[in-house]
């Protein structure tokens, strides 16, 4: 899996996940926009954002079904609450015979101020119920935990002042 932090402006943060060898990838059927829990039980793309030096972080779950959710955590898997968002993320999935692309545009106004330490992750389900957990880094590959701050390895700088 390849991920790319495409960029951001004052309205949107854009992230792309590219999956090679996706012939057997299970893509959840279209369910319409809206919040939903448990999206990680099948193919789901996730983004974790943490301000450096802070224990708190944000988790976004984005599904090819167009369902999504956003959560605030006070610390590692502690104090979870649904995060308000000013509007829904925009998500699209394209799947060919052996490659899939998932693009997400997340409303910037619903996210904490930069700088961020990011975890960019995915749960991929294949036919037969085979699931794999993908991240830029796993602190413990034998027991992957996307909520481990050691997985938040991608850094996004604060905006520059002109």
Peptide bond into 115 cis (omega under 30): yes
Residues 30-56 have pLDDT tens digits of: 999 999 999 999 999 999 999 999 999
Residue 161: its pLDDT value, please?
62
Closest CA to 121 of 29, 5, 6, 3: 3
pTM of the model: 0.93
Residue 60: its pLDDT value, please?
98
- Assess contact for 43 and 123: CB atoms under 8 A: yes
DSSP 95: E
Residue 158 has pLDDT above 90, yes or no: no
Residue 162: its pLDDT value, please?
58
Pick the CATH number of 2-156 from 1.10.3470, 3.30.70, 2.60.40, 1.10.510: 2.60.40
pLDDT band at 141 (very low <50, low <70, confident <90, very high): confident
Residues 67-122 have pLDDT tens digits of: 999 999 999 999 999 999 999 999 999 999 999 999 999 999 999 999 999 999 99
* CB contact set of 82 (below 8 Å; sequence gap of 6+): 35, 69, 70, 71, 72
Closest CA to 17 of 135, 106, 110: 135
- Which tokens belong to 91? 């998500």
Residue 137: its pLDDT value, please?
87
The domain spans of the chain are 2-156
Q: Name the one residue in this structure whose structure tokens are 């330490």.
A: 117
Task: Identify the three-state secondary structure at position 144.
Answer: coil
Q: Which residues pair with 44 in a beta bridge?
A: 123
- Which tokens belong to 56? 């708190």
């Amino acid at each position: 899996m390849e991920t790319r932090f495409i960029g951001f402006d004052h309205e949107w943060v854009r992230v792309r996940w590219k999956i090679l060898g996706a012939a057997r990838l299970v893509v959840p059927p279209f369910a319409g926009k809206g919040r939903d829990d448990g999206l990680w039980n099948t193919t789901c793309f996730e983004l974790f954002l943490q301000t450096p030096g802070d224990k708190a972080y944000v988790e976004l779950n984005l599904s090819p079904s167009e369902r999504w959710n956003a959560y605030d955590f006070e610390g590692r898997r502690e104090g979870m609450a649904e995060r308000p968002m000013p509007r829904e993320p925009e998500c699209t999935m394209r799947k060919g015979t052996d490659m899939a692309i998932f693009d997400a545009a997340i409303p910037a106004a619903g996210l904490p101020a930069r700088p961020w330490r990011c975890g960019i992750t995915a749960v991929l389900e294949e036919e037969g119920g085979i699931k794999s957990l993908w991240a830029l880094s796993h602190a413990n590959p034998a027991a992957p935990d996307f909520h481990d701050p050691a997985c938040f390895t991608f850094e996004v700088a604060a905006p520059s002042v002109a």
